[in-house]
Amino acid sequence: MSKTYRLFISHSWKYGDAYDKMVKFLDDQGIEYYDHSVPKDDPVHTNGTDKQLQAAIDAKIKGCSGVIILAGVYASYSKWIKKEIEISGDYAKSIIAVEPWGSEKTSAVVKDAADRVVKWNAKSLGDAIKDLF
């Protein structure tokens, strides 16, 4: 019987294509998962306060198996990714950092917090999920 992972996939809806690609990687690897990410259509993104968004992220991370964060340069400057890393630590959740395809510069903030750093590749992401979560 295969395991169903409970994953929080960090993302900025500004870079939604990267989130979509990571979901495709999981599907391509046959990873069964429940997506704990705050959905794009959740009104907390557009109508909520920072406090409400942080509470939503906290609740999603609390119940997940592990966290996946794209380690693009923008992540170093994102207050929300820093909060996701902090919340992950509060609940002792493992973090996989995914280095964007073809990137020369990546986020040291994310990679330093990660339990595993993988390349932009379906197999390496799938293997890391199976190993860590």
4-9 vs 32-35, strand pairing mode: parallel
Q: Cβ distance 80 to 50 under 8 Å?
A: no
Query: What is the C-alpha separation between 9 and 48, in angstroms, rounded?
Result: 20
Give the dihedral sign, CA 43/49/55/58. Answer: positive
Q: Which of 1 and 79 is assigned the larger pLDDT? A: 79
Q: Please say if the pLDDT value at position 41 is more than 80.
A: no
Q: Please say if the pLDDT value at position 48 is more than 90.
A: no
User: What domain range is 119 assigned to?
Assistant: 4-132
How confident is the model at residue 44, as a pLDDT? 62
Q: How many domains does the chain have?
A: 1
Q: pLDDT grade, residue 12 (50/70/90)?
A: low
Q: Which of 65 and 40 is assigned the larger pLDDT? A: 65
Q: Which residue has the tokens 């406090």?
A: 51
What predicted TM-score, i.e. pTM, was given to this entire model? 0.90
Q: Please say if the pLDDT value at position 28 is more than 90.
A: yes
How confident is the model at residue 56, as a pLDDT? 86
Neighbours of 38 (CB within 10 A): 21
Q: Please say if the pLDDT value at position 58 is more than 70.
A: yes
Query: What is the C-alpha separation between 32 and 48, in angstroms, rounded?
Result: 31
Write the CATH number for 73. Answer: 3.40.50.9200
**Nearest 5°: CA angle at 20, between 29 and 12?**
130
